[in-house]
Amino acid sequence: MGSFLSQLSQSWGNIGSALVITVEGTIGGAILALVLAFVLGLMALSRFVVVRGVARTIIEFFRGTSLYVQLFWLYFALPVLGFKISSALLCAIIAFGLNFGAYGAEVVRGAINAVPRAQWEGAIALNMSPFQRMRLVILPQAWVAMIPPFNNLLIQLLKSTPLMSLVTIADLTFEAQQLRSATGQTAWSYLFLLVVYFILAYILTLLMNALESVAKARLGRGTGLRGIFRMRPADPTGKSLGAGLAGAGTEIEPVEAANLTSKTMGAGGPGGGGV
């Protein structure tokens, strides 16, 4: 224990820069994943079968192959074929972006589909173009439903960053292993690592909860920033969404509302949904 602590304080500088690398990998990957999630998610909702097909292929491929293998492919295999990506960190960010972007695309698609059909129809009745419907009406509502699953993905992404240590990047996991070999304290080294990842994950969760509270407030519901610790019981009235979206007396969750409306509205597309 004593040798562990003294080694820890000696290598504090290295651990600091390792923390920065881990955060860079997480944030960089998350930004790329977010962009890809929207691009692929919207493409997957297109009216055009070719566009949908391209999106589905990309999503299924990057969701269905291992992140570990994708990273190794970018870092070790691509240079053999003559494409060298300048830095290992950039390789990692691209791999994270592609992999988590594919998962995120399904979140985007699902959240957009869960916006009640009545909202599309309201937008059509005001003669909005397909792009305006999406931008002004649908996405601002779908966004709220995207945040909790995005938070899950963000934490998963953070917890995937130890893979970076396998492609020569000196991230937190790499430094913890250094600590372990220097002190022989396996348990303490990995406990330290667990705690640091947990703290990072919880900070991300609080930030995402704050984002969700703000987004909900813009829809005229939600509990303000006090809600970020998620200590409230479930809301059995479903007041969080019902009234405004689906109409008076039908206080139901968004997915159910979408199902209900699509059942009661019968067949036929909403005059060309999607963009």
Q: Under the rule (CB under 8 A), what is the footprint of another protein?
A: 118-119, 121-130, 132, 136-137, 140-141, 218-221, 243-250, 266-268, 270-272
Query: For residues 177 and 262, which CB has a smaller minimum distance to another protein in the complex?
Result: 262
Query: For residues 27 and 211, which CB has a smaller minimum distance to another protein in the complex?
Result: 211
> Do 101 and 33 meet the contact criterion of CB atoms below 8 Å apart?
yes
Which ranges of the chain would DSSP assign to H, the alpha helix? Answer: 2-10, 12-43, 49-64, 67-72, 78-80, 88-114, 117-125, 130-132, 139-160, 172-183, 186-218, 242-246, 254-265
The least CB distance from residue 48 to another protein, in Å, is 13
Distance CA 37, CA 41 (A): 6
Query: For residues 233 and 249, which CB has a smaller minimum distance to another protein in the complex?
Result: 249
Cα(first)–Cα(last) distance of the chain, in Å? Answer: 59
How far is C-alpha 112 from the chain's CA centre? 15
Polymer length of the chain: 275
The least CB distance from residue 267 to another protein, in Å, is 5
The least CB distance from residue 38 to another protein, in Å, is 17
Query: For residues 184 and 272, which CB has a smaller minimum distance to another protein in the complex?
Result: 272
The least CB distance from residue 147 to another protein, in Å, is 14
